[in-house]
Amino acid sequence: MKHFLTSAPSRISDRSKLKFGFIFAIALIYISLFVGLQYLNAPLWWDEKTFWLTTQRYFSDSLLPSLATLKSYPELNTPLPFIIYGALEYLFKDGLFTGRLLNFCLSVVMVLVIGWPRRPHPWLHILSAAGLLLFPYYLWLSGRFYTDIISTFFVFWGFFFYFRSTHLLSGIAFVLGIASRQYMLAFPLAVGTYELVISLRKREFPSFKVLMPLLAAASIIGWFILFGGIAPSRGLSSRLVPDVQQSLFALEPGGALYFLSFVGLYFVIPEFLLFFRRLPIAQLWQRKGFYGAIALGLLILFMLFPPALEASGNLMKVADLMPFNIIKYALFYLLALLACWRFSKLNLATWMVIFNSLIMIKAWQWDRYALPLMVILWYLKSIERLDDSAVLGSQPALAEDSKQLT
């Protein structure tokens, strides 16, 4: 009894120290980012120029844009971020700063939810947040006037509510994510497909948790009808658009393989470095035939659909330092192989990787587009659902997490 009375305060103190240390580290990182971006007043960078111009010209005259504006604004992605940015400009007359500040705050919220040290494995949450912050575009875009953080934020809450079986709110969040960027379609498709497979295996009629994400995914049809294509016609004509995006049916299969390289580089390797003691490394040898078949199949795909050696981002910068194209392809292949091995178990995370990779056959190749997937993978890692193959729903551990977040 005496030992319990003396050790319990010590454990409480240790948890308090851990939480304080986490808050201090996050505050230090984001204060440094805030100052490094000149208090969020840094010069416009790349697409910020056109995003800010579009916000001023088309979305800042009122809180809600007209239908004609939604059909004709000169951008390629769905308009919700520009509506939000325009409302901020309309209300505060400093839309560039307030838009960047919004992204900054949303970024902080996601990191805190993922990384807040809570029982039973506080370090799991902290290291998951660390893994996310290692993705270079997360912090870089957190203080920029881009659409990525907003769209990712909605998808993040789609999963947050999904794991708590609040499927209506989850579906609404997914709809808002798609309204912020078309590529967010991959996530409700992954959830709906995963739940549908479970229903078929159990020979059950598809329930609300199957239908809601699929209905959310179907919201993309409304945008295609409104735009008369995959994006507003003025955006397609006024922006430098890759050939693969000029037509609804144009495809670049190598883009999916290149995206798998991003997953290998930005998730599989950091996960191994942060959690190598908890990963089932021995399975690689035990299932060597299975993993060998994956390696052979992926090699055939690389030979049939080699990724284009024209791309943006850090991975291509590294590849450009290599003297021969065969070495570049070898790099992409090895990173993609890591991703395929890591997500060879057909579960929710695997479906997310599959659908995100498939959507990239319609996109310019850029590491930045992996940002939403990185956020959700690290979130799943933090709540120990990354390798879950059971029927998802409300869990006592998740309820406990919800209490500790408040």
Q: Is residue 155 part of a domain?
A: yes
User: Domain range spanning residue 164?
Assistant: 37-405
Q: Is residue 109 part of a domain?
A: yes
Give the alpha-carbon dihedral of 359, 139, 384, 154, to 10 degrees: -60
In 3D space, the residue among 167, 353, 156 whose CA is nearest the CA of residue 267 turns out to be 353
366 DSSP β-pair partners: 312
Provide φ and ψ at 252, rounded to 5°. Answer: -130, 85
Q: Is residue 299 part of a domain?
A: yes
Q: Is residue 28 part of a domain?
A: no
DSSP tag of 388? -
Q: Is residue 289 part of a domain?
A: yes
Q: Tell whether the model's pLDDT for residue 400 goes beyond 60.
A: no
312 DSSP β-pair partners: 366
CA distances 329 to 57, 299, 332, 341, 400, Å, are: 43, 10, 5, 18, 46
N- to C-terminal Cα distance for the chain? 31
> For residue 282, what are its two tokens?
């021995």
Report the alpha-carbon distance of residue 348 to residue 358 in Å, rounded: 15
Listing DSSP states for 353-371 in one string gives HHHHHHHGGGS--BGGGGH
Report the alpha-carbon distance of residue 187 to residue 352 in Å, rounded: 6
Minimum mean pLDDT among 25-34, 140-149, 295-304, 388-397: which range?
Answer: 388-397
pLDDT reported for residue 277? 66
> For residue 144, what are its two tokens?
């920029």
Q: Is residue 13 part of a domain?
A: no
Our count of domains for the chain comes to 1
pLDDT reported for residue 202? 87
Q: What is the mean pLDDT of residues 332-357?
A: 96
Q: Tell whether the model's pLDDT for residue 391 goes beyond 70.
A: no
Q: Is residue 11 part of a domain?
A: no
Q: Tell whether the model's pLDDT for residue 388 goes beyond 70.
A: yes
pLDDT reported for residue 247? 66
Q: Is residue 257 part of a domain?
A: yes
Are 50 and 239 spatial neighbours (Cβ–Cβ below 8 Å)?
A: yes
Q: What would the pLDDT profile of 120-169 be if each residue is shown by its tens digit?
A: 899 999 999 999 999 999 999 999 999 999 999 999 999 999 999 999 99
